[in-house]
């Protein structure tokens, strides 16, 4: 998704967000998203349970999601038993027209009213009233979030809440393009989304769905249509739309890499983009959408992702004649619009609302060529948004909880340049920028807004568990823009996601973010032997442009008589100093994670994933430290050789080789533990399974990190590419040459850096 610039001065002039505490936070309570109208008797605290009773009005059907959700959440979060005829009374009522929403930006006022509710608490009990089932469900989520354990009992404030969304659609993008979550985990994610009043779950599966119309691209572990329908039905139960998502015409290497579909490419040597004027290509994409629609009964939406269609209208070759067709239509944007019509109109005729990305290469003059039934999944600035509005195309505000800047964890907290090896022009804080984007975007006055989209891109191979802080707090601005402050919103999320026993979670997330930044910043960039890329957003490279990989200069290897250049330590002094600082902070991070693992009641698996990531951070930090130690040992060996002390020289060399084996073992252990943890929720990334084989062919334009390997080893891919093994073998050869000359036993342990097995290393290597 192309990043859209913010009008920073305008945002600042709007005051961004209030920094004072909300009424709920001031009283010690937390709700995500922040309700619209809150009136509390702050001096009164009510007790809830442990016995409770449930009374439903005539408008509440038997088995309504609100009643079942209330029972389930009270049991899961607080251990309360099913309702009885005593204790705290909870009354649930659906009375159409009984709750009048206040001011709201969204143009669909009926949908906003359906989600509105009133929650009243008093010594007589709790009453939740709503216009429709959806609002009643959201009122229940708020009630559960209000409950707080105090002195062995559950309490809640006395007062009233009247609440409604500012925008009726609040979608998140769930990225399963590079892995597949197991079905129970996807259900858990859908239910988690509903708890934070997220009502759209757009899931990108690529080859992880069993397409009937395109069997060649189905991957070893792929969701069946029956499983997709099961997930859809589960989402509908909790008022969450599970939404099919397919890219086109760009971003579809997962299709065009297959020989069976290469004939649909716009350029023969690029698998990135299909030929928009090839009827067979359009039919292929339409057939795939139809497969998903048939497994998504009850769904309302479709995402036709026209994101980054860089090269449409440029191809003029025997395979694809887009250029003359674009010239005939008058622009490449009009060609894209025709493609959108061809794919979207049949879906619209089936009752689907089609969401697309109205961006480059569209120009303002191209907008009238688009069908007005579309929803633009983003806003695109003052030259476009009023024209979309005039044409009848409603829009959504797009932002993301992660882009492509960090490797293991979203950019929730920035890393100051003072703590970087390579300073950057701007520091990213996804929480603040995303919340402000939705709350204060100028499109609020220029577009017909229908909702928000918050994406969690997994192009860097992140675990989807890492996105929840961004999903919940950024999407909350679509319910209540501008309130509360970002720190308060994050604090409320921690309490609701982990429970009241979680401690220092803000520090955990800060450390997770900053250590992720340093993991990437701690290495350099150099030429890559991998396949050069075809093009980028501005055009096609001719010739192709070589990629860059992360590289790390290793210390020198000893020469004859153990001669050695020890300057590596001096040249890497800042790197080593920063690594030492971050290693100490990694101690703190792991300590906090394990402390919370022993105390939290909710989402413990999320913290297990974080432990595995923290160990990956640590492995890199320890490797940098140990390279410094190896450099010192090689220098010590040189000095001992010069002093005619071969025994001491060999001892230093053997300790250096032992450190090399320790570095390999720590890498293998970190990868093994991460793989085991992540595969609790993910299917394995494998070459073959279930009678199907994964075709490993990388994207010709997008260098997505998980695409680089078939398995989970992409997590340590930069280390595997390092010539570490050659360097260590050079050290061993020098060691053996010197040992032979001095009558000392040889080291016959050949070092294989690519050996991913478990080779325990004898502990006790002294610190240097």
Residues 52 and 68 in one domain: yes
Residues 612 and 660 in one domain: yes
Residues 567 and 434 in one domain: no
- Hey, what's the torsion of the CAs at 603, 606, 611, 614, to 10 degrees? -140
* Other CB atoms within 10 A of residue 651 CB: 15
The rounded distance, in Å, linking the Cα atoms of 719 and 479 is 44
pLDDT at 563: 96
Residue 48 lies in a domain: yes
Residues 183 and 147 in one domain: no
Q: 223 pLDDT exceeds 60?
A: yes
List pLDDT tens digits, range 333-386. 999 999 999 999 999 999 999 999 999 999 999 999 999 999 999 999 999 999
Q: 43 pLDDT exceeds 90?
A: no
Report which of residues 7 and 409 the model is more confident about.
409
For residue 503, the 8-state DSSP code is -
What is the mean pLDDT of the segment spanning 635-646?
97
Residues 672 and 756 in one domain: yes
Residues 242 and 260 in one domain: yes
Q: Quick one: pLDDT band at residue 537, thresholds 50, 70, 90? A: confident
Given a contact cutoff of 8 angstroms between Cβ atoms, the answer to whether 541 and 535 are in contact is yes
Domain closes at, from 123, 148, 163? 163
pLDDT at 146: 97
pLDDT at 538: 86
The rounded distance, in Å, linking the Cα atoms of 263 and 273 is 11
pLDDT at 404: 64
List pLDDT tens digits, range 76-128. 999 999 999 899 999 999 999 999 999 999 999 999 999 999 999 999 999 99
Beta-ladder partners of 550: 525
Residue 756 lies in a domain: yes
- Domains identified in the chain, total number: 3
What mean pLDDT, rounded, does the chain reach?
A: 94
Q: Which residues contact 531 (CB under 8 A, 6 or more apart)?
A: 544, 547, 698, 700
pTM: predicted TM-score of the whole model, two decimal places: 0.95
Residues 426 and 513 in one domain: no
Residue 322 lies in a domain: yes
β-pairing, 353-356 vs 375-376, is parallel
List pLDDT tens digits, range 163-214. 999 999 999 999 999 999 999 999 999 999 999 999 999 999 999 999 999 9
Residue 442 lies in a domain: yes
Burial 302-329 (b: 16+ CB within 10 A, else e): bbbbbbbbbbbbbbbeeebebbebbeeb
Residue 7 lies in a domain: no
Q: Which residues contact 639 (CB under 8 A, 6 or more apart)?
A: none
The rounded distance, in Å, linking the Cα atoms of 190 and 576 is 43
Alpha-helical (H) ranges within 679-758 are 717-720, 724-741
Q: Quick one: pLDDT band at residue 302, thresholds 50, 70, 90? A: very high
Residue 27 lies in a domain: no
Residues 69 and 189 in one domain: no
> What range does the domain containing 665 cover?
499-528+560-683+723-768
Q: Quick one: pLDDT band at residue 284, thresholds 50, 70, 90? A: very high
pLDDT at 767: 52
What is the mean pLDDT of the segment spanning 705-724?
97
Q: Quick one: pLDDT band at residue 750, thresholds 50, 70, 90? A: very high
Q: Quick one: pLDDT band at residue 470, thresholds 50, 70, 90? A: very high
Residues 431 and 447 in one domain: yes
* Domain CATH number, residue 63: 3.30.379.10
Residues 258 and 302 in one domain: yes
- Is the Cα torsion angle 498, 499, 500, 501 positive or negative in sign? negative
Domain closes at, from 497, 520, 544? 497
The rounded distance, in Å, linking the Cα atoms of 646 and 637 is 8
Share of the chain above pLDDT 90, in %: 92
Residues 331 and 266 in one domain: yes
Residue 17 lies in a domain: no
pLDDT at 7: 36
List pLDDT tens digits, range 414-448. 899 999 999 998 877 889 999 999 999 999 999 99
Residues 332 and 372 in one domain: yes
Q: 764 pLDDT exceeds 60?
A: no
Residue 298 lies in a domain: yes
List pLDDT tens digits, range 224-273. 999 999 999 999 999 999 999 999 999 999 999 999 999 999 999 999 99
Report which of residues 762 and 462 the model is more confident about.
462
Angle, CA of 320, 326 and 330, to the nearest 5°? 175
| Helix H or strand E segment including 569 | helix 568-571
Domain closes at, from 110, 140, 163? 163
pLDDT at 19: 54
Angle, CA of 217, 222 and 224, to the nearest 5°? 110
């Amino acid at each position: 998704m192309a990043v859209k610039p913010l009008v920073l001065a305008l945002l600042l002039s709007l005051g961004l967000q209030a920094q004072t505490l909300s009424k709920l936070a001031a009283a010690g309570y937390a709700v995500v998203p922040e309700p619209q109208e809150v009136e509390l008797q702050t001096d009164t605290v009510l007790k809830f349970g442990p016995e409770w009773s449930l009374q439903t009005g005539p408008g509440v059907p038997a088995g309504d999601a609100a009643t079942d959700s209330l029972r389930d959440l009270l049991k899961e979060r607080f251990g309360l038993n099913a309702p009885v005829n005593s204790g705290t009374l909870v009354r649930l009522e659906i009375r159409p027209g009984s709750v009048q929403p206040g001011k709201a930006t969204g143009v669909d006022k009926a949908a906003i009213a359906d989600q509105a509710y009133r929650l009243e608490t008093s010594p007589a009990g709790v009453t939740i009233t709503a216009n429709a089932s959806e609002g009643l469900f959201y009122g229940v989520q708020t009630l559960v979030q209000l409950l707080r354990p105090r002195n062995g009992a559950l309490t809640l404030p006395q007062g009233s809440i009247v609440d409604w969304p500012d925008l009726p659609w609040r979608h998140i993008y769930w990225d399963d393009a590079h892995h597949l979550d197991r079905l129970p985990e996807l259900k858990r994610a859908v239910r988690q989304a509903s708890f934070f009043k997220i009502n759209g779950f757009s899931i990108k599966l690529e080859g992880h769905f069993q397409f009937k119309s395109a069997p060649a691209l189905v991957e070893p572990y792929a969701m069946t249509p029956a499983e997709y329908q099961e997930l859809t039905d589960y989402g509908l139960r909790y008022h969450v739309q599970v939404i099919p998502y397919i890219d086109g015409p760009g971003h579809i290497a997962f299709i065009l890499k297959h020989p069976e579909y290469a004939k649909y490419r716009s350029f023969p040597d690029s698998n990135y983009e299909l030929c928009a004027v090839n009827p067979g290509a359009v039919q292929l994409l339409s057939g795939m959408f139809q497969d998903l629609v048939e497994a998504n009964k009850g769904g309302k939406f479709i995402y036709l992702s026209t994101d980054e269609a860089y090269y449409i209208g440029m191809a003029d070759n025997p395979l694809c004649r887009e250029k003359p067709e674009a010239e005939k239509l008058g622009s490449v944007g009009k060609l894209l619009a025709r493609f959108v019509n061809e794919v979207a109109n049949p879906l619209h005729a089936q009752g689907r609302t089609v969401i697309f990305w109205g961006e480059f290469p569209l120009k303002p003059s191209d907008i009238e060529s688009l069908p007005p039934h579309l929803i633009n999944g983003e806003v695109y600035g003052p030259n476009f948004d009023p024209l979309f509005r005039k044409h009848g195309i409603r829009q959504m505000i797009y932002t993301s909880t992660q882009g492509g800047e960090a490797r293991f964890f979203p950019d929730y907290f920035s890393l100051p340049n003072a703590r970087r090896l390579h300073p950057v022009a701007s520091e990213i804080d996804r929480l603040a920028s995303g919340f402000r984007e939705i709350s204060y975007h100028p499109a609020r006055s220029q577009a017909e807004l229908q909702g928000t989209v918050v994406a969690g891109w997994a192009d860097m191979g992140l675990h989807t568990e890492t996105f929840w802080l961004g999903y919940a707090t950024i999407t909350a601005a679509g319910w209540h823009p501008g309130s509360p402050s970002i720190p308060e919103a994050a604090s409320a999320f921690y309490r609701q996601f982990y429970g009241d026993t979680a401690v220092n979670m803000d520090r955990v997330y800060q450390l997770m973010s900053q250590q992720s930044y340093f993991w990437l910043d701690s290495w350099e960039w150099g030429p890559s032997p991998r396949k050069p890329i075809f093009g980028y957003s501005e055009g096609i490279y001719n010739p192709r442009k070589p990629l860059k990989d992360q590289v790390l200069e290793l210390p020198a290897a000893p020469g004859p008589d153990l001669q050695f250049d020890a300057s590596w330590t001096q040249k890497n002094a800042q790197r080593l100093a920063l690594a030492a600082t971050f290693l100490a902070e990694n101690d703190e991070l792991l300590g906090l994670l394990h402390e919370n693992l022993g105390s939290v009641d909710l989402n413990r698996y999320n913290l297990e994933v974080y432990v595995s990531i923290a160990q990956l951070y640590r492995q890199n930090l320890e490797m940098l430290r140990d390279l410094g130690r190896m450099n010192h040992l090689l220098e010590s060996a040189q000095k001992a050789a010069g002093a005619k002390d071969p025994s001491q020289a060999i001892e230093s060399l053997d300790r250096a080789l032992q450190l090399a084996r320790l570095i390999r073992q720590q890498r293998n252990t970190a990868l093994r533990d991460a793989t085991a943890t992540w595969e609790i929720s993910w299917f394995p990334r494998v070459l073959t399974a279930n009678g199907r084989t994964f075709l490993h062919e990388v994207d010709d334009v997008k260098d997505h990190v998980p695409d680089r390997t078939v398995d989970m080893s992409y997590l340590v891919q930069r280390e595997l590419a390092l010539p570490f093994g050659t360097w260590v073998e050079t050290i061993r050869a020098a060691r053996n040459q010197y040992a032979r000359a001095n009558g000392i036993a040889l080291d016959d342990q050949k070092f294989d850096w690519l050996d991913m097995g478990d080779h325990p290393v004898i502990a006790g290597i002294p610190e240097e």
